[in-house]
Structure 1
Amino acid sequence: MSTPALIALVAIALVGLASVVIGSLGVRVARSTSDFLVASRTVGAVPNAAAISGEYLSAATFLGVAGIVLREGADALWYPIAFCAGYLALLVLVAAPLRRSGAYTIPDFAEARLHSPRLRRLCTALVLLIGWLYLLPQLQGAGLALTTLTRLPSWVGIVGAGVLVVLSVVAGGMRSITFVQAFQYWLKLTALTVPALIAGALFLGSDRELDRPSAPTFAEATTISVETPVRLEVAADTALTARGTVDGRIVDGPLTWAPGVHEVEAGAELRFEAGSGVPVPAGSPPTDREWLEPHTGGAQLLEIYSILVAGIAGTMGLPHVLVRFYTNPDGRAARRTTVVVLAMIGAVFVLVALLGLLSRAFTPELLVDGRTDGAVLLVPTAVLGDGWAGWLLGGLVSAGAAAAFLSTSSGLVVSLAGVLFTDVLRGRLRDFRLAALVSAVVPIAPALAVTRLDLALTVPLVFAVAAATFCPLLVLGVWWRGLTPAGASAGLLVGAVLSCVGVGFTLVGQVPEGSLGVLLLRPAAVAVPAAFLTMVLVSRVTRAEVPLDVDRTLLQLHAPERLGLSRDRLDGS
């Protein structure tokens, strides 16, 4: 194993070890069900904000956002905007009322609000679906990071991440994970800040440009092995040497690509000389100047709307994010937590967007073989060269990547285990540990079996599912007295079906072109309004089923804690 690979592996192992050790500290203080599920509701605003930021800033953020900026340019900036705006909506609409509900999980909230065991079971199933769908790209991100950095097979990273997450969670539940995720947030922030500052300084001191009317160029002769079929676009005549199947015919020697789209089959090898233009994935901006300009026409405008809806509404519906607000002492602390989170995640999104921008200058070759998700991991050695400085900086970034997939995976496993513990096992604390093990093991098999997915595609799909299901339930449940169990159930089912259609098409890789393909990949623009509308219409038809204590429940959700009307105070908890 090479020196940089060994350094990266050691950095990842140290992060895993530190996470397990910090998590084990929770054993000393986690003794009750409340400790394991919501840390006894004693987490302050700043520590909770660091933990929320740690779990929210996933492998998709750490790796995927920079990758999509590298590929799509200005249009990709809508992703971090949507993800940050989601916390603003969460602050205004649901953070404090959700905390005052006294619930442990989303199914808890649904039953407390609407008194329907059937609705609770449906919510339980959706929590598990969303959680496992979100764990899939996290585990694949772990495999991608390990393969990119060390050349070890991806299954080692997938299985290793699963084991580390289980060890962290079973130690002390939510209380332990709070400490672990706060540590991982600060590590990720450091691992992004240092390379961003170094790469930015070196870029400003060089003659590199990002506003040329031509494609980015290879700094040196580069050979690229294509592992999956790709469609590449060039803006000008491009000379290369190819071996394999290109444009439907077997070639072995020099050729010249005319401007347009070219198809390259898996197993092909492409060699470009220094100064040659870099081909880009078909549909992406082929020149740097186009890459810097936003495009808002036709299907692209529809995609932007759907990204915004999914990011904003999806944040309000992610179970592992919502469960964090149950750990605050009261609703006021929940609001303060959300404000701090906005600052923390905003800083990280600025850094990953900057690294995506800089990767266009330093690692444009990633556009050819589709490894754009690895941009953050490869920028250090591209900037500082193949020496100890680049290797050590790469080790720091490797540690940050490990923290990214471990923190979000841990949060997901805690939220899934909480639902399995309260709604399926209904047992003792050892059953929580069993639930955590099941929660982590289930997605490992599909993560190993499914071809590596583009993080920039799969994570927004999970946000879309959350947006079309739990966002309408929470917003209407908190603010509309007319919601009924039948209306809530119908809306959840409609939102789940419409959003999951896109998940299915993405997993099989069969998505048509045009607006229909955009809506399949980004279903939130249709699924979220449909879910809201269904909940309202069915509730109107079944208005006789409005719970008799709805006014009392809404008073508990909205009354300030000092009045003593929250569910916690009334229950004596």
Structure 2
Amino acid sequence: MTEPLSVAAIALVCFTTLTLGALGLRLAKGTSDFYVAGRAVTPWRNASAIGGEYLSAASYLGVAGLVYESGVDMLWMPVGYTVGYLVLLVLIAAPLRRSGAYTLPDFAESRLESAALRRGCALLVVGIGWLYLLPQMQGAGLALRHVSGLPTWVGATVLTVIVTLNVAAGGMRSVTLVQSVQYWIKLSAIAIPAFVLLAVWSQSGAPAPQADASWWEPLTSDEPTSRSLFTTYSTLAALCLGTMGLPHIAVRFYTNPNGVAARRTTVAVLALLSLFYVFPPVYGFLGRAYLQTPDLANDPSRTVVLALPGAMLSGLDGRLLTALVAGGAFAAFLSTASGVTMSVAGAIDQDVIRPLMARLTHGDAGPAATFRIAAGAGVLTPFVVAVSAAPIGISSAVGHAFAIAAATFAPLLILGVWWPRLTAKGAAAGVAVGGLTTTAAALVSVVGHLPAGWIGALIAAPTAWATPLAFVVTILVSLVTPASRPRRWARTMARLHTPEGVFAEAG
């Protein structure tokens, strides 16, 4: 059934996104503008942009769906999403900004002076980005189909075209402007209907949510299933450590003017995320009182937020609230996909296209030209998979992206910032072990069939064992390969840990 108001809301969000991207085009002139917005983004604007980027389909739709399906067990999920920024604040926020790098591969090369490690990190950036982009594209197709009846490939195509145009137009300048506005769009779109629906429920005398006893009991199972304590704690570890390793999150801290601004940005992000995550569980809670699984097209993890307003309110009121949440959902897809595409395009541009163009033309084709080619190439593969493959779970795909980031970039960043004896071979070995183990687990979980018992639990949530393994391998290999320690390690460590004010006074 077509919902004209919802289609109009999605169209308005798309138009707003394109307009903001066009404004960013007028500001982007050089390499610094395209990659890090001139390193001049203020803490609150950057925090809003990070909130817009980080609150993906897994947050906007997935958290409510998980609460609807599994109960209060799932309330730890938004807590984990938010706590990741506290870990990032304490461990790497300011040093990462002081590194002076543009991307995570840049940081790896500048810290460890290894071109091979840089290429490996660039490959990981692209892989994590594609795994993150896929559910955003499929979710956009599902959201548009839910309100218009159009095939799912239409929504995926609309998302891909708009994101590519925005990223190619002004790089990080455009993306920052788009994402900082879209955080507030998403917050309004999920908060206003939540307040209205809670008021309707409280005044209507409707029964409490109906579910079996386990739905109300948090963290009670000790069996190796998808709801076991092991899986919960392993996923929490992935969210805490994976946040700092997500390429599209890390690159945002390079846009701050200095390390102090990076810390202030992180504190502001914690406040903005905490405010947003109050509302998705409300939809899962009320869904248990008003929705049945057949009403959700057998996919409650994606559609409970979209279906609930119409189930609780009939007529124009229900359609208006549905339009609001549909517009917010599409804003979530657009803003997250923009940030991920930005990080993927940066890796492809710096490590594939520009070196290739330099060899072919014996010169520099210019950052704008090569970056725009990279932006188009970066979204092509996930788009083809999104429109041709069966849908995958939003939370599952994003969870595996966090797990891969936690087992690869988290050890590299933490040890790179705090351990002077880290060597290039040690870092490469740790990244390889963490990447291979978690990628294999993701492939088995998404494509294959998980075995029963503890083996299945270990594969479904690999962070608890893969990340410690990566840390141990990195440390041991570094200890036995002191010759591969970078020559300028002392100078690099001083730059990472010396406040900018000291350099200003020395100058």
Task: Give the alignment's TM-score, normalised by structure 1.
Answer: 0.83
> 2:487 corresponds to which letter in structure 1?
L
Q: CA deviation at 1:305?
A: 1.1
Which residue matches 1:310? 238
Q: CA deviation at 1:65?
A: 0.8
- Asked if 1:352 is matched to 2:280, the reply is yes
Instruction: Could you tell me which runs of 5 or more consecutive residues in structure 2 were left unpaired when the two chains were aligned.
Output: 355-364
Mapped partners of 2:128, 2:37: distance in 1: 23
- Asked if 1:320 is matched to 2:248, the reply is yes
Mapped partners of 1:489, 1:452: distance in 2: 34
Q: CA deviation at 1:414?
A: 0.8
Mapped partners of 2:478, 2:276: distance in 1: 41
Contact 2:353 2:370 in 1 (8 A): yes
Mapped partners of 2:194, 2:22: distance in 1: 33
- Asked if 1:491 is matched to 2:489, the reply is no
Which residue matches 1:541? 480
Which residue matches 2:309? 380
Q: Which of 71, 83, 87 in structure 2 is aligned with 1:73?
A: 71
Q: CA deviation at 1:21?
A: 0.7
- Asked if 1:409 is matched to 2:337, the reply is yes
Give the alignment of 1:19-418 within 5 angstroms: 19-210=17-208, 216=210, 287-294=211-218, 295-299=220-224, 300-365=228-293, 369-385=298-314, 387-418=315-346
> 1:120 corresponds to which letter in structure 2?
R
Q: CA deviation at 1:288?
A: 3.9
Q: CA deviation at 1:368?
A: 8.0
Describe the shift of the 1:94–1:199 C-alpha distance in structure 2 as closer, same or farther (beyond 3 A).
same
Contact 1:71 1:367 in 2 (8 A): no
Name the SS of the counterpart of 2:487 in structure 1: coil
Mapped partners of 1:206, 1:289: distance in 2: 24
Contact 1:146 1:154 in 2 (8 A): yes
Which residue matches 2:462? 523
Name the SS of the counterpart of 1:443 in structure 2: helix
Mapped partners of 1:53, 1:390: distance in 2: 28
Q: CA deviation at 1:405?
A: 0.3
- Asked if 1:422 is matched to 2:350, the reply is yes
Mapped partners of 1:210, 1:309: distance in 2: 33
Which residue matches 1:248? none
Higher helix share: 2
Contact 1:363 1:382 in 2 (8 A): yes
Q: CA deviation at 1:367?
A: 7.1
> 1:96 corresponds to which letter in structure 2?
A
Q: Which of 397, 402, 410 in structure 2 is aligned with 1:471?
A: 410
Task: Give the alignment's TM-score, normalised by structure 2.
Answer: 0.94
Q: Structure 1 stretch 544-553 or stretch 302-311: which is displaced more?
A: 544-553
Q: Which of 368, 380, 387 in structure 2 is aligned with 1:441?
A: 380
CA offsets, 1:361-391, max 9 Å, x none? Answer: 1223357823332111111111212x11111
Q: CA deviation at 1:325?
A: 0.3
Aligned alpha-carbon RMSD (Å): 1.6
> 2:101 corresponds to which letter in structure 1?
A
Name the SS of the counterpart of 1:350 in structure 2: coil
Q: CA deviation at 1:191?
A: 0.5
Mapped partners of 2:208, 2:101: distance in 1: 50
Which residue matches 1:273? none
Name the SS of the counterpart of 2:277 in structure 1: helix
Contact 2:309 2:318 in 1 (8 A): yes
Pair member with larger Rg: 1
Higher strand share: 1
Aligned residues: 491
Give the share of equivalent positions with the same residue, in percent: 49
Which residue matches 1:245? none
Q: CA deviation at 1:6?
A: 1.8
Mapped partners of 2:156, 2:296: distance in 1: 24
Name the SS of the counterpart of 1:517 in structure 2: helix
Mapped partners of 2:68, 2:203: distance in 1: 21
Mapped partners of 1:209, 1:515: distance in 2: 38
Contact 2:68 2:300 in 1 (8 A): no
Describe the shift of the 1:565–1:311 C-alpha distance in structure 2 as closer, same or farther (beyond 3 A).
farther
Instruction: Could you tell me which runs of 5 or more consecutive residues in structure 1 were left unpaired when the two chains were aligned.
Output: 217-286
Which residue matches 2:371? 432
